[in-house]
Amino acid sequence: MPKIVFLPHEKLCPEGMVVEAKKGETILDVALANGINIEHACEKSCACTTCHCIIREGFDSLEPSDELEDDMLDKAWGLEPESRLSCQAHVDDEDLTVEIPKYTINLASEQH
């Protein structure tokens, strides 16, 4: 089974975590099942950016993002070339290393 390494995130998983995933699960669902409460404001329907993650390793093993996901990602806080919406990215055979950005658009806008 592929593993997902979640890098430490101040609030959501301060120590980081290594978890097992099943092929076909979304990164978001794997995180939630392991108590890492990544925001998912639109309930996983590719209509927000709060579930944005950066795939530090294993990015190429994922199915490429579609146009709708890319459009949403353009609005994400801290966008990087290896950014994905974790509710849309399905785990394949390879291990992944995932960084949860420090802010989401919701949080970032609250602080200004």
Q: Which residues bind ligand FES (CB under 6 A)?
A: 40-42, 44, 46-48, 50-51, 72, 85, 87
> Alpha helices, DSSP H only, in the chain?
27-33, 67-73, 105-110
Q: Which is nearer to ligand FES, 1 or 68 (CB)?
A: 68
Q: How far is the CB of 8 from ligand FES (least distance, A)?
A: 22
Q: Which is nearer to ligand FES, 15 or 110 (CB)?
A: 110
3-state SS assignment for residue 83: strand
Q: How far is the CB of 48 from ligand FES (least distance, A)?
A: 4
Q: Which is nearer to ligand FES, 1 or 71 (CB)?
A: 71
User: DSSP letters along 19-37, please?
Assistant: EE--TT-BHHHHHHHTT--
By the 8 A CB rule, do 108 and 48 touch?
no
Q: How far is the CB of 88 from ligand FES (least distance, A)?
A: 6
Burial 31-57 (b: 16+ CB within 10 A, else e): bbebebebbbeeebebebbbbbbbbee
Q: Which is nearer to ligand FES, 9 or 40 (CB)?
A: 40
Q: How far is the CB of 50 from ligand FES (least distance, A)?
A: 6
